[in-house]
Amino acid sequence: MGRSIIVPVVRFFRLEGVETRILSGMLAQLDTTEEQALATLGSAGTAAEIEAWRIDWLGSKGQLKQLMGRMKEVDASERPAFGQRMNAMKKSLEAAFKAKNNAAATPIAGPPMDVTEPGIAAGLGRRHVISHTVAEIIDVFARMGFEPTTGPEVEDEWHNFTALNVPESHPAREAIDNYYLEGGGILRSQTSTVQIRVLEDTPPPVRIVAAGRVYRPDTHDATHYSMFHQVEGLWVDRGVTMVDLKSTLLGFAHAFFGDDAEIRMRPSFFPFTEPSAEIDMKMRIKDEWQWVEVGGCGLVDPNVLEALKIDPNEWSGFAFGLGVERIAMRKHGIADIRWLYDNDARFLRQF
């Protein structure tokens, strides 16, 4: 790069003399020189090219130095102007070099990074309060000898109604109260379907507990939702009676709500049990004991056993169904069932 950059061009003829003409020409030429220098730097791609440029222009024997050496050719009175221009050019080239060097040394564009700053910890997930409650309930019954099982959510009318002794004309079958599917089938409205599935597959004795979702087309409000969870229990054996049912439910209440918990059974009606009862459990809610209706139960109706070719003279059983949301909501003081399914992490994180 030893080419001569300064080619004095006399642009302004002034009569004062030759020195002045040289200065005018050189000053004008310095602009071009600076532009060329910056352009060369701009096209330098590699670190080696940038360094070669530095030596050529800013080095101790570089072009800037050589230009400075020509100061003596300038008339003494014009030297300050020339000096100022040279200083400005030096600064401009140095700044350009610095910027280029920094850019080349910073391969990743973006804001500066403080590697000492503490990181953002990944949030830990947690089980939904309903999953947690289901697991706890199942665990208690499992310890009492009930085998956990499940059944399908898409069912047929046989398992959801007919085999459960629900007559064709029963209002529980009405279209407005169920999710009937196009082409047949139904989203199960109760986990009692699992009683039928188990008894179809397994000859008694059976003792199972099954949790899962059920579906009913309710309008959503604080206590209704179109999907909720039930836990179903079934024990069929020789000589199972109401005493077994009541002691099982009481054992559950003690394990789940504490030794002071109580249960109460109110006579009721379900097509698949005879006799039938509604179950209340007394639980402590904010230091106050309250009765809460938690589900239904009864002795398996002989019609159900007969439909499954099980002899009701040899076998008897009990069944129960518990509402999981009810239990979880009362236990944790949750006032509105919709909060469980809004998926607002601020709410769900509390449990």
- Backbone phi, then psi, for 179, in 5-degree steps? -95, 85
Contact window for ligand DAH (CB under 6 A) among 40-48, 92-100, 114-122, 291-299: 291-299
CA 293 to CA 25: how far, in whole Å?
103
Closest distance between ligand DAH and the C-beta of residue 126, in Å?
29
Q: Kindly tell me which of 151 and 296 has the beta carbon lying closer to ligand DAH.
A: 296
Q: Which of 53, 146, 215, 320 binds ligand DAH (CB under 6 A)?
A: 320
What are phi and psi for residue 177, nearest 5 degrees?
A: -105, 5
* Binding flags for ligand DAH, 241-280, as an x/- string (CB under 6 A): -----------------------------x--x-------
Give the number of residues written for the chain: 351
| CA torsion angle 48 53 58 60 (round to 10) | 70
**Minimum CB–partner distance for residue 295 and ligand DAH (Å):** 6
* Residue placing its CB nearer to ligand DAH in the complex, 151 or 295: 295
212: contact with ligand DAH by CB under 6 A: no
Residue closer to ligand DAH, measured from CB, 178 or 273: 273
Measured CA to CA in angstroms, residue 186 lies from 156, 215, 328 at distances of: 6, 9, 27
The interface region with ligand DAH, picked from 32-40, 112-120, 126-134, 295-303 by CB under 6 A, is 295-303
Between 33 and 190, name the residue whose CB sits nearer to ligand DAH.
190
Residues linked to residue 316 through DSSP beta bridges, in sequence order: 237
Question: Considering beta carbons, is residue 182 or 201 the nearer one to ligand DAH?
Answer: 201
Encoded tokens for 305: 């056993």
Backbone angles phi, psi at 36, to 5 degrees: -65, -45
With contact defined as beta carbons under 8 Å apart, do 185 and 155 qualify? yes
Minimum CB distance to ligand DAH smaller for 35 or for 177: 177
Maximum distance among all Cα pairs of the chain, rounded to whole angstroms: 137
Residues that bind ligand DAH (CB under 6 A): 190, 192, 232, 270, 273, 295-298, 319-321
